Structure 1
Amino acid sequence: MRPRTVGGRKGKDVKHVITGASGFIGRQLLKRLTAEGHQVVAIGRTPPIENSADPQVSFAGYDDLPEVASGADCFLNLAAVNNDTEASEETFFKVNAELPQQLAAQAKAAGVPVFVNFSSFHALPGGPDTPYARSKRAGAEALEQVAYQNALNLYLPAVYGDDFAGKLAVLKKLPGFLRAAGFAVVSALAPVVHVDRIAAFVDEDLTKVASDEPVLLADNKDDNLVYRFGRKLIDLGFALAVILIFWWLLLIVWVLVKTGSAGPGIFAQDRVGKGGKVFTCYKFRTMGKDTRQAGTHEISESAVTPIGAFLRKTKIDELPQVWNILKGELSLVGPRPCLPVQEELVAERSKRGVLDILPGITGFAQIHGIDMSHPVRLARKDAEYIARRGLIFDLKIILGTFIGKGQGDRTAKIK
């Protein structure tokens, strides 16, 4: 096995300091790092039993940190009071919020180039209001207070590897021949990540990761056949429902747009799709016929027609895009496709892998009111969606759209 590198070093020359190595993730991560020839210092109250005899693993207490962290390439903080633990609010905050900040300060003082604070998708903004989630969010915010150039928060969904734990432990109750099918269904509903994906991330040159941007790791949902099939059912079900049940609404809106102002009823515009491929996107026209081709936030609100304002507010203007769904150019849920001329947004999305999936009629960023006038913020939210997507998450976005969350792309406040 060829050793991977961290910061230009490889094999036995790479040294990691890990807290929480005796936990489910820590044990498996430690096993994979040592298999690559890396040296690991496990910090804790007791040594990880499975690796106590491994010559590549040494054990130290928290009081030994200043000494053992010297010369380390990376500090991984997995120490946590988990959400399935019965503990006081004070204990949650002491371990999940205060400890990361203290460890980061010590790692910085010892000259460790990279500090990674492991967290959970539960701790992301808008997550559950539990002691665990609140304390983890506080920990992420506290880490930002440490002037540490390469300190980052790493957010994970349910983790699996050599075994299942946490909520995924229910799969162990299934007969062996049903376990793979059960996992495919569970992982289609919500995001999961294999510990190999985490190990690969740690093995990369972490100094290239922007410390001001959280990192979310999850398995690629496009590799899950159940998820892809479920998405396709949702897409086709929506498209056929609009065409077969609401054809009369499409006809009425087309007539109103056509007679309300000069120009066609349907507006066709080039948009950037999957893989950066340009396609023609169809919408009911909401602006004057001679409105220039530009991002909506660059267009005067006076360009919007009276009927167009209503269509944009109710999102009815998006309905003709069911044709794009049937052509395989759009999905119902995904990052909203931008114009080819919006080069900054295209570049930011490309950098974060957002262009690897189909764009959508509605999206995670859209229901949070983030439009294309904020390219970096939008691309980050799109990347977060890709990591968090699952059939349940997609249905929540669809529901959020129908109940009116988000304002869509806002026009400029100029006349």
Structure 2
Amino acid sequence: MTTADDIFDQSVNNIQRLGLREIPFTESPTDLRSETLNHIFTGRQDELGPTALIALAQEMTDDEWAQSQLYQMGIPTEKVLKERRSEVGGSIGIAGKIGEKDLPITKPQYPTVSLNTLLNRAQKKYPEGVVIAIDDLDKQNPHRVRQLMHDAQGTLKGPAWFLLTGHPMGLMGDLLTSERGLFDLQLKLEEMDQETTYQMLINYLSSARIKNYSTDANDPRSVLPFLPDTAKHFCQVSLGKPRLFNRLGSTVLSTAANLQVDKITPDVLDKGLKAAEPTLRQQAALNVQEERVRALLQQRGSLSDETITIDDLEQLGFRSFSQILPYLERLEEADLAHQINQDDTKTFAPIPLPPADEEPPLDS
């Protein structure tokens, strides 16, 4: 009788057969301060900076004021902070002693003042500057985000730089136009080039490899269990997009482990990439109309305002390409489509994965 422990042990053995302790690909690292994250981080050096103000205060472990701010907001610190008080007593002589109690957890009464004070202290430690980054702003409630922008205008114009990320066609685009006085510029993060993506693959694999090899891109062992050609093909398919890179990498290694192989040959890679497409669709949880747009994109190979036909529009129940655009952007967000450079025309193409065995008809 096969037990759960047997299945787990076999799974571990299959991963180790590939020369790895674990699968290193993950969309969101669980520990943002881990050594693994430092090891695998590749590219984006120009955009790299301190992340959030709380993270900054957590780094300032020797600054008692910064730590007290964290503690009073209910954020754990390395040591419990105490509030000291003097006590006087005695009938004949005067005796004194020092008492302690835990600092109370309170909401900052003047958060903007506290923030600016902490920033001033931080800038003494980090004279090159402080950046506060807020990621995936489009995933937040639009009303709350706009209210945040309104309430925090003084803070946003303060001594720190703020970096907000999101889709330029969504809430981020609205903020850039409506709150123009708060933001200096819009910076688009381009996809990584193939050389950087290849180095990223080396870094990820090296972080989980049982036996250390060179991380030199010219050394074929640096991409094991991938063969050099399959490593290059994998990087091409991932299009220089870190999230897609991680999603595909996880599926490819899982497939190789299930096949109980020790190398990722072209055939193994093809099986892994073929398994990725339905996995991405399942994670996306597309509705019927999104699925129909995806199927049309898959059939046509690319869609733009110039290439879509009247028959295509009628088949989907639309009158113009602009009505389809939100669905294509939704597919791009789910890593089921990507934009290709075509002058000023928005052109979408499927992710270049091996086709699924069966594609559903458009009218299904």
Please report the TM-score for the alignment, with normalisation by the length of structure 1: 0.27
Larger proportion of strand = 1
Structure number with greater Rg is: 2
RCO greater where, 1 or 2, for CA within 8 Å and sep 6 or more? 2
Please report the TM-score for the alignment, with normalisation by the length of structure 2: 0.30
